[in-house]
């Protein structure tokens, strides 16, 4: 049967644009649809990324996408002492503070250059199915409602994803697997603009506070709290306001922008493909459960998805079996780390401020050569095994 497109990607965030780019580049006929009227705006992100993974997904940042560059990460314990990590050691969320309004557009532009179509202000409202097989998507745009047929619909529709659920894939989250976030773009502040700062402990129950510099006197200052630890909808803002008022560097700051949103901090979900359907990025719960960072994983999984979809288009086979190459591919790249970090997160949220203070003091004493959960725990274990006895199954 003739179809309108090989692939329709729902959502033009990092995951959607990367998927569309690699599918189109390898010969698939691709359409991206985005419900917003402008790619990348409004921003719902702390905007911290590292450089380490760009080459692996073919990403070349332009000047506008980079707001600020830092030397590394500063991890601050509840008693105010800190541990510095160089950019190289700091993991996937530290090195560059991007401007997502431009970054997301850059990725979408790459997808268009590779041959993908893009339609803005166009929302997916329903999947078209033949039995359990997805064969297209109903969309609503300024022109009205219409059905688009395709070999595969890609759910790249972010944290609140509905497309996966419409296809019958379980992406539901327990309250303890969700971090609720609130962030100010604060200007008129004094800050150590050479570092992205992470503040741990009970100031941000079940999460952390971040200060990511956008320039010398402006930063994204945000907080994430585990949903199960919230006593009301305004709780995260209240905690963040209290922190800002207690910090002389930030107290005189004024907001240019407010952001609220959520991230998943769950174990990898069981299934991300079905007949004619594939989930990627936040929709596939590929966010790092410790940092809440998801841009790098969305891009890495997006590249795998695009390549698999192009092969599926050539073979005219978008069955679940054919798309399992994506399931296996992204899991090979990301699953071990996601699972290990989820286990570590489950324990981290139970630690007292005193334990965080001791861990930071120990890290300053023993040092670590890599910012991975395993490397940190190993370094601490060598000197103070009792401090990490809770984490024995990760060692």
Ligand X SMILES: Cc1cc2nc3c(=O)[nH]c(=O)nc-3n(C[C@H](O)[C@H](O)[C@H](O)COP(=O)(O)OP(=O)(O)OC[C@H]3O[C@@H](n4cnc5c(N)ncnc54)[C@H](O)[C@@H]3O)c2cc1C
Q: Taking CB under 6 A as the rule, does residue 26 contact ligand X?
A: no
**In 3D, which of 83, 153, 112 has the Cα closest to residue 357?**
83
Q: Which of residues 101-140 bind ligand X (CB under 6 A)?
A: 123-124
- Judged by CB under 6 A, the residue of 13, 151, 207, 274 near ligand X is 13
Total binding residues for ligand X by CB under 6 A?
41
Q: Which of residues 265-284 bind ligand X (CB under 6 A)?
A: 281-283
How far from chain centre, in Å, is Cα 14? 9
Q: Taking CB under 6 A as the rule, does residue 205 contact ligand X?
A: no
The 359-388 contact track toward ligand X, x by CB under 6 A, reads ------------------------------
Task: Give the nearest distance from C-beta 75 to ligand X in angstroms.
Answer: 15
- Judged by CB under 6 A, the residue of 5, 6, 31, 48 near ligand X is 48
Q: Closer to ligand X by CB, 25 or 105: give it.
A: 105
3-state secondary structure the chain: CCCCEEEEEECCCHHHHHHHHHHHHCCCCEEEECCCCCCCCCCCCCCEECCCCCHHHCCCCCHHHEEEECCEEEEECCCCCEEEEEHHHCCCCCCEEECHHHHHHHHHHHHHHCCCEEECCCEEEEEEEECCEEEEEEEEECCEEEEEEEEEEEECCCCCCCHHHHCCCCCCCCHHHEEEEEEEEEECCCCCCCEEEEECCCCCCCCEEEEEEEECCEEEEEEEEEHHHCCCCCHHHHHHHHHHHCCCCCCCCEEEEEEEEEEECCCCCCCCEECCEEECHHHHCCCCCCCCCCHHHHHHHHHHHHHHHHHHHHHCCCCHHHHHHHHHHHHHHHHHHHHHHHHHHHHHCCCCHHHHHHHHHHHHHHCCCCCCHHHHHHHHHHHCHHHHHHHHHHC
- Judged by CB under 6 A, the residue of 94, 167, 244, 263 near ligand X is 263
Q: Where does this chain touch ligand X (CB under 6 A) — which range of 57-65, 168-176, 256-264, 307-315?
A: 256-264
Q: Which of residues 178-197 bind ligand X (CB under 6 A)?
A: 181, 183
- Judged by CB under 6 A, the residue of 12, 148, 152, 312 near ligand X is 12
Task: Give the nearest distance from C-beta 371 to ligand X in angstroms.
Answer: 15
How far from chain centre, in Å, is Cα 58? 18
Q: Closer to ligand X by CB, 126 or 378: give it.
A: 126
Task: Give the nearest distance from C-beta 319 to ligand X in angstroms.
Answer: 24
Q: Taking CB under 6 A as the rule, does residue 10 contact ligand X?
A: yes
- Judged by CB under 6 A, the residue of 240, 295, 308, 310 near ligand X is 295
Q: Closer to ligand X by CB, 112 or 379: give it.
A: 112
Q: Taking CB under 6 A as the rule, does residue 49 contact ligand X?
A: yes
- Judged by CB under 6 A, the residue of 3, 4, 35, 228 near ligand X is 35
Task: Give the nearest distance from C-beta 145 to ligand X in angstroms.
Answer: 13
Q: Which of residues 321-350 bind ligand X (CB under 6 A)?
A: none
**Residues within the interface to ligand X (CB under 6 A):** 10-16, 33-36, 44-49, 93, 123-124, 156-159, 181, 183, 222, 259, 261-263, 281-283, 287, 292-296, 298
């Amino acid at each position: 049967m003739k179809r309108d497109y090989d692939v329709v990607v729902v959502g033009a965030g990092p995951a959607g644009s990367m998927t569309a780019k690699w599918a189109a580049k390898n010969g698939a006929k691709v359409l991206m649809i985005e419900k917003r009227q402008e790619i990348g705006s409004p921003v719902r992100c702390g905007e911290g990324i590292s450089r380490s993974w760009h080459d692996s997904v073919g990403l070349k940042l332009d000047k506008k996408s980079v707001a600020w560059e830092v030397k590394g990460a500063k991890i601050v314990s509840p008693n105010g002492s800190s541990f510095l990590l160089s950019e190289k050691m700091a993991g996937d969320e530290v090195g560059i503070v991007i401007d997502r309004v431009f970054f997301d557009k850059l990725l979408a532009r790459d997808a268009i250059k590779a041959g993908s179509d893009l339609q803005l202000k166009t929302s997916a409202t329903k999947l078209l199915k033949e039995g359990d097989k997805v064969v297209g998507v109903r969309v609503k745009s300024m022109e009205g409602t219409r059905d688009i047929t395709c070999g595969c619909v890609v759910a790249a529709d972010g944290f609140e994803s509905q497309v996966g659920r419409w296809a019958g894939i379980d992406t539901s989250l327990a309250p303890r697997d969700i971090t609720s976030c609130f962030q100010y773009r604060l200007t008129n502040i004094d800050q150590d603009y050479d570092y992205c700062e992470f503040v741990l402990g009970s100031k941000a129950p079940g999460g952390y506070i971040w200060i990511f510099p956008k320039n010398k006197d402006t930063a994204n200052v945000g907080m994430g709290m585990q949903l199960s630890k919230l006593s009301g909808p305004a709780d995260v803002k209240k905690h963040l306001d209290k922190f800002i008022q207690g910090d002389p560097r930030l107290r005189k700051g004024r907001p240019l922008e407010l952001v609220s949103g959520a991230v998943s901090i769950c174990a990898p979900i069981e299934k991300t493909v079905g007949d004619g359907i594939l989930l990627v990025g936040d929709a596939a719960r590929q966010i790092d459960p410790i940092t809440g960072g998801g841009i790098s994983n969305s891009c890495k999984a997006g590249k795998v998805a695009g390549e698999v979809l192009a092969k599926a288009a050539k073979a005219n086979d978008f069955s679940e079996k054919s798309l399992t190459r994506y399931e296996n591919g992204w899991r090979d790249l990301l699953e071990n780390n996601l699972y290990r970090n989820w286990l570590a997160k489950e324990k981290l949220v139970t630690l007292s401020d005193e334990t965080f203070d001791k861990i930071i003091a120990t890290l300053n004493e023993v040092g670590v050569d890599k910012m991975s959960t395993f490397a940190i725990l190993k370094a601490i274990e060598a000197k103070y095994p009792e401090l990490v006895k809770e984490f024995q199954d990760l060692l």
